[in-house]
Amino acid sequence: MEHEFWLNKWQQQQIGFHLSAPHPLLQRYKDECFDSGPVFVPLCGKSLDMVFLAEQGHKVLGVELSETAVVSFFKERDLATEKEPANDLMAWRGGDYEIFQGDYFHLSSPALEQTRQVYDRAALIALPKPMRESYVEHLEKIMPPDFRVLLITLDYHQDEMSGPPFAVSEQEVRHLYQNAREIKQLRYTSIIDQEPSFREQGLTDLFQGTYFIQY
């Protein structure tokens, strides 16, 4: 997606992808998938999942294109922040959080050298198919070699809705993460009855997939 698409979404507060509570699947599978170390949240927005992770004792690192989202996150937590340039990005720090504001593809490995855990609820599904492979390739480049991912996806007939969020099947997950040692599907469930807005957009069904990926 073009940068302007997401920047405009935040500027106009068209952020239906922002959840008003921590994701229940993160709460369900966190202890199964993560140890007590830091967690990286790509394309993090101002997600309350980061708050949940911090409350559970994790240091949280994120990357987010929109400065509006980053400023809002810290302001809503009433956290004092400091910021400094980090190559082509701006590093914002406050409390247990460090968020790199700028292009995900400009994030480099030194920023994540102590981080071996990734939580992806809204990154992969936010990207059109041509960008998803580049996204995973960059993740493999910037993370330490033995990292793990808790991934949540949506899956539906892509011809029924243009996205975002985009449909990502189990087959595609296994293709994208083929370099991993283990890919385990934890859950795959229809959620169309809990998401009437997607039915209104023409979807006949909507599935949510949850995966644990270990490198």
Burial 56-72 (b: 16+ CB within 10 A, else e): bebbbbbbbbbebbbeb
Q: How many domains does the chain have?
A: 1
State whether residue 99 is helix, strand or coil.
Answer: strand
Residue 98 reports pLDDT greater than 90:
yes
Residue 1 reports pLDDT greater than 60:
no
Residue 83 reports pLDDT greater than 80:
yes
Task: Determine the average pLDDT of the residues in 56-64.
Answer: 98
Task: Determine the average pLDDT of the residues in 45-62.
Answer: 97
Helices (H), the chain: 3-11, 24-33, 48-55, 67-77, 129-142, 170-176, 196-200
Task: Determine the average pLDDT of the residues in 154-171.
Answer: 96
Enumerate the known binding-site residues for S-adenosyl-L-methionine.
10, 43, 64, 121
Task: Determine the average pLDDT of the residues in 54-65.
Answer: 98
Task: Determine the average pLDDT of the residues in 16-28.
Answer: 82
Residue 159 reports pLDDT greater than 80:
yes
Cα–Cα distance measured from residue 149 to residue 215, given in angstroms and rounded to the nearest whole number: 9
Which residue segment(s) compose the domain that 128 sits in?
Answer: 3-11+19-214
Enumerate the known binding-site residues.
10, 43, 64, 121
CATH code for the domain in which residue 71 is found: 3.40.50.150
